[in-house]
Amino acid sequence: MKNLLLLLFIPSIAIASCSRAPSVDKVKQAKIDDSIIRVYLSNNPMIKAVKDPSGLYYQVVKQGTGTYPNSNSMVTVNYKGKLINGGPFDSANGFSSSLDGLVKGWQIGIPHVKAGGNILLFVPSALGYGPSGGGPIPANAVLIFDIDLVSFK
């Protein structure tokens, strides 16, 4: 009986493992993303981005005034997003959302500027759309966002 259960159990494991998406080595992908960002920045020396401990690179272009937003803030932004190795994929003016509902790269980067400020974000894939991608964004894509923080509450 035990052998029969084992024989029934093993194929179900094999079938389940085949149906899953391939796993991504997060450490390896983080190193790849970091290398892509560093090469981009070295090819664009006018950008003076700094690296956050999360792996996000950012440059505060204009600080803005007042206080800083936090993770619970409702932010209104104008932004442009592009693939680091390609063209634009999205842009909007007057886009509003709770900061904690946005991709992790925005949650980390936007609190570095105040209302009226501008920031460039260089977002490694783990802080963006990860191994799944989304819409026009391919899996494990490194993204660049140019964000004007219009206001926040």
d(CA 80, CA 91): 4
52-75 confidence digits (pLDDT tens) = 999 999 999 999 999 999 999 999
Rounded to 5 degrees, what are φ and ψ at 102?
A: -100, 170
Joined together, the tokens standing for residue 21 give 């998406």
Domain 25-152 coded CATH 3.10.50.40: yes
| Contacting residues for 47 by C-beta, under 8 A, at least 6 apart | 41, 59, 120
Residue with token string 């796993």:
23
Say what the pTM is. Answer: 0.84
Q: State the average pLDDT over residues 9-36.
A: 66
Give the residue extent of every domain in the chain. 25-152
Q: What is the pLDDT of residue 86?
A: 87
CA atoms within 13 A on the CB side of 152: 26
pLDDT bin (cut points 50, 70, 90) of residue 22 is low
Joined together, the tokens standing for residue 80 give 């442009």
For residue 124, what are the CA distances in angstroms to 50, 86, 91, 129?
A: 13, 15, 19, 9
d(CA 53, CA 57): 9
109-151 confidence digits (pLDDT tens) = 999 999 999 999 999 999 999 999 999 999 999 999 999 999 9
d(CA 106, CA 82): 14
Q: CB 108: neighbour CB atoms within 10 A?
A: 20
| Contacting residues for 41 by C-beta, under 8 A, at least 6 apart | 47, 49, 57, 122
Question: If you average pLDDT over every residue of the chain, what do you get?
Answer: 88
